[in-house]
A and B are shown apart, each in its own frame.
Chain A
Amino acid sequence: MDFLIFKAPMLMVQASLDGILLGILFALIAYGMALQWGVMNIINIAQGDLVILGGYIAYTIYLWGIHPAWGVIISPIIMFFVGWALYKLVINKVVDRDLFISILATFGIAIVFQQLMNFIFGADVVVAQSEYGTTMLFDNSVTLPNSKIFSAFISVLYAIALVIYMRKSKLGRAIRATAQNARAAKILGVDTEKVYAATFGINAALCGIAGALISITLTLHPYVGLPYTVRSFMIVIVAGLGNLPAVAVSGMGLGLFEEFADYILGTEFRIGAVFLLLVLILVYRRFKLSKKREYLK
């Protein structure tokens, strides 16, 4: 077995930089996942499909001749209302129920989304050209598309903005209060129904931003949503709910893992490696906790 990556150290730099920039993007999606999981106690399998839908919105405005980078502003606005509508239609009926019900129901939503996107945007792999060019580093041996740097920058910007919003605004405080104790929040006059809808909307908006960034950095296809869901789920279970720095770090870690797995195992095993890592992380945590006679809750 000879691995190209160990022979050429520059490839390692390349993979690391790619991985970290990609990981920041994953962390943004995972932040939305953690938000809804923490506040509403649902696991949203359709998370990845919301991301892809956001990406297709950015791609559509690109087709209209507007620069796709504007997608990071337009896409979240549209996605917020998509999320709100989704909450009013389905999610509000599964909030207080068993988690498995939310998993299955959102699985159904995911299938509907995939198929509708397939009808509307076609089954081709598409990408929106940002034409940002590339940055060459280390004597042209490491190439870094500027769009990736742009996407990482925007992700960090939005994440910081959201954290400040959650701390300072009235809605943010209501959301945090509901997450801590929904019943008590209700007694104290918080309209939890509205808070839930807003949370799901914010989550969808985050997905919209991430999707718009994916449309210029990676590729879009109607059926690639599920890996994004699994990635964000993985990041959340490693980092824990409501721990933003940890979400960022484990997001980057996942990005690094993926890039290296891509080089070492080959691209055809990339998605398989992600799903296998999920299994391994869960099994590892299970054995670690079982020593203390506990289990993952």
Chain B
Amino acid sequence: MEKVKQKDLILYSGLIILGLAAPYLFSAFKVQLTYLCVLIVLAMTWNLQGGEMGYNTFGNILFYGLGMYLTASVQVGMFFPLAEWTESGGEKTFVHTTAQYFQGIGVGLLVSAIIPAIIAGAIGYAILGLRGHYFAICTLGLGIAAGEIAGGIEIIGAGQGFTTPPFPAEIVDTEARGKFFYFLSFALLVGTFIFVKYIYGSRFRLILNAIRDNEDKAEAMGIQTMKYKIVGWMCSAFFCGLAGGIMGGLIGYIDSTDVAFDGREMGVFMVLMAILGGKGTLWGPVIGATLFHFFKEGLWTLILGWQYVALGVLIVVIVVYFPEGLMGWLREKYPERFGEVIDEKDRKAQVELK
């Protein structure tokens, strides 16, 4: 195993310390920081599909929404009747004790990681056989269908939404809720990063890249592409489910199409963030998500009402003019930093050709 370089060690420990100190340093922005962690997780897991495997999915929102509903349902259903809770104002009659709340969210998050992964495996065989834009459109359909169907199911609140259990009132510290969700999401972020970094150093990534570059050839080389595609998608689903579960608890209210299966916001954001940062790189989605979040939070309030117009224009501009993203641009500019050996003569010759 390759030894972790000292420079990297300093970088990572610095980032972790910054992450742990962030809720104390920027106490007022805890919710925003939690969002940022979740966005980075979503962008990184999207990158596994879109960037590494070449399967541009709009469907990861499906697992995110599923995780959200599952966590909340388990958290309620473990102690109280779910139907009565969602019918109307159940959260007023039934109150979780502190122990119940944390037990519930723990088990809920576990369920919301495993079930989306299983579902990804189950539908993966059917859907990952589609290629290119058919896959993209199919997953787009899947995400929206899930939202529409969830909006018609009575037990999870149908169209009127699902109020997740409120944070236990026995904890007097007003900061506790924000800190709890921040550290939860930060732990998820660290876990996801370690996992994705591990994948980046493994044979698995090479296989995914082979699938992206030429699936037929990869198959001809004896790689069982379907198996790896499904495993890759299951990994994404696992982390997306967890991210959804945390977000559900943080937001406190789940609506089928506006919060959970929010293809118009979250579903597009994750694609956009990964492309903005640069798909197919480890740090690209992280940087992309951070930039996007700062841009969004900074600008959203300034251009109130126009934010979706800005979002749409942003999508068009990024996709049309910067399809390689920030990392791709840097790579073109400073190829030496990315460990690429450049033949000066060759480069000059190419410039002349242009």
Contact = CB atoms under 8 A, between A and B. Distances in A.
A217 B76 CA distance: 44
Interface string B125-152: 0110111111011101110110111011
B12 interface: no
Contacts of A275: 141-142, 144-145, 148
B144 A226 contact: yes
B127 A283 contact: yes
Contacts, number: 130
Interface in A86-118: 90, 93-94, 97-101, 103-105, 107-116
Contact of B315 (A97, A98, A104, A269): A104
A279 B142 contact: yes
A139 interface: no
A170 to B, nearest CB: 31
A290 interface: yes
Interface in B172-203: none
Interface stretch (B23-31, B104-112, B304-312): B304-312
Contact of B138 (A266, A272, A279, A295): A279
Contacts of B319: 94, 101, 104-105, 108
A296 B312 contact: no
Contacts of B15: none
Contacts of A276: 141, 145, 149
Contact of A103 (B133, B159, B306, B313): B133
Interface in B104-124: none
Contact of A111 (B137, B141, B312): B312
A264 interface: no
Given A101-B323, A233-B137, A287-B129, A272 B148 contact: yes
- Candidate in A98, A233, A279 with the most chain B CB atoms within 10 angstroms: A279
B320 interface: yes
B308 A111 contact: yes
B268 interface: yes
Contacts of B152: 266, 268-269, 272
Contacts of B159: 268
Nearest to B313: A112
A97 B313 CA distance: 19
Contacts of A15: none
B264 interface: yes
A101 B315 CA distance: 10
B268 A107 contact: yes
Nearest to A105: B319
Contact of B308 (A109, A114, A283): A114
Nearest to A108: B315
- Candidate in B141, B147, B152, B264 with the most chain A CB atoms within 10 angstroms: B141
A230 interface: yes
B142 A100 contact: no
A286 interface: yes
B132 A90 contact: no
A271 interface: yes
A297 to B, nearest CB: 8
Contacts of B141: 230, 275-276, 278-279, 282
Contacts of B315: 104-105, 107-108, 111
A237 B141 CA distance: 14
A105 B159 CA distance: 31
B104 to A, nearest CB: 29
Contact of B130 (A103, A105, A109, A286): A286
B251 interface: no
Contact of B134 (A107, A110, A282): A282
B271 interface: yes
B131 A94 contact: no
Interface in A49-106: 90, 93-94, 97-101, 103-105
A290 B126 CA distance: 11
A43 interface: yes
Nearest to A223: B264
Nearest to A237: B134
B18 interface: no
B314 interface: yes
- Candidate in B56, B137, B305 with the most chain A CB atoms within 10 angstroms: B137
B138 A282 contact: yes
Nearest to B272: A104
- Candidate in B142, B147, B151, B319 with the most chain A CB atoms within 10 angstroms: B319
A105 B318 CA distance: 9
B136 A272 contact: no
Contacts of A100: 56, 132-133, 136
B316 interface: yes
B313 A116 contact: no
B193 to A, nearest CB: 26
A94 B316 CA distance: 10
A274 to B, nearest CB: 8
B6 to A, nearest CB: 40
Contacts of B313: 108, 112
Given A272-B145, A279-B141, A296-B134, A104 B309 contact: no
B264 A111 contact: yes
Given A103-B56, A111-B264, A111-B312, 7 more contacts: A99-B133, A268-B158, A275-B141, A279-B141, A283-B127, A283-B138, A290-B129
17 contacts: A93-B320, A101-B319, A103-B133, A103-B137, A104-B275, A105-B320, A107-B268, A107-B315, A112-B313, A268-B158, A269-B149, A278-B145, A279-B127, A279-B141, A282-B134, A286-B127, A295-B130
Closest 10 CB pairs of A and B: A108-B315, A272-B148, A112-B312, A111-B312, A275-B145, A108-B316, A115-B308, A278-B141, A268-B152, A99-B133
